[in-house]
Structure 1
Amino acid sequence: MPTVRYFAAAQDAAGVEEETTEADTVGALRVALIHAHPALAVILDRCALLVDGVRADDGFALAGAGTVDVLPPFAGG
């Protein structure tokens, strides 16, 4: 069961730093996160989701994954 870690605005919207998920794909995870944390709907489609450090699309399987990082876009240099 992967641990979902939230950063910056995603953490503010979720209201938690991390949680575990039973979703089987990144797409299913997106749906579950919005259901659990409606405020994420505003930013989640602009966030990068990294599965064990690798950017993943919605079809990416989460079986055997350790972490999913939810990273909103940020500016800076």
Structure 2
Amino acid sequence: MATVRFFAAAAEAAATDGTALDAATIGDLRARLVARYGAEFERILNRCSLLVNGTRATDDAVPLAGSDAVDVLPPFAGG
């Protein structure tokens, strides 16, 4: 199972800071997260960056292994 960590608004929408899920790809992971956490989470997820083991995953076809760590990062503001 991939370990998924939520930050900021994503953690708030999911009402947790993380979970573990079986998913074959980033696209599969997105679908499973939306099914679990609902429409408000989906709205936020669509604006988030996903990092797999510290590397940004921009393609839903990126494969996931059970040992992978995925960070869900909403846009941050600041200076």
Name the TM tier (shorter chain).
over 0.9
Q: Deviation above 6 Å: which 4+ runs of structure 1?
A: none
For residues 43-76 of structure 1, give each alpha carbon's deviation from its aligned partner in whole angstroms, at most 9, with x where no partner exists: 1111000000001121100025421000001110
Name structure 2 gaps, 5 residues minimum: none
Give the alignment's Cα RMSD to 1 decimal.
1.0
Q: Report matched runs for 1:1-77 at 5 Å.
A: 1-38=1-38, 39-56=40-57, 57-77=59-79
Distance 2:48 2:15 in 1: 16
**Ranges in structure 1 where 5+ consecutive residues have no aligned partner:** none
Using the size of structure 1 for normalisation, the TM-score is 0.93
User: Residues 25 and 58 of structure 1 are in contact (CA less than 8 Å); yes or no, is this contact kept in structure 2?
Assistant: yes
Deviation at residue 3 of structure 1 after TM alignment: 0.4
Asked if structure 2 preserves the Cα contact closer than 8 Å seen for 1:34 and 1:41, the reply is yes
Instruction: Specify the code of the residue in structure 1 equivalent to 2:21.
Output: T
Q: TM-score scaled to structure 2, two decimals? A: 0.91
Find the residue that maps to 1:68 and give its secondary structure: strand
Q: How far apart, CA to CA, are the structure 1 residues paired with 2:78 and 2:22? A: 34
Structure 1 residues 12-50: Cα deviation after superposition (integer angstroms, max 9, x where no partner):
001111110101100011111011001211111110000
For these two proteins, the number of residue pairs brought into alignment is 77
Whether the 8 Å contact between 1:51 and 1:65 is mirrored in structure 2 is no
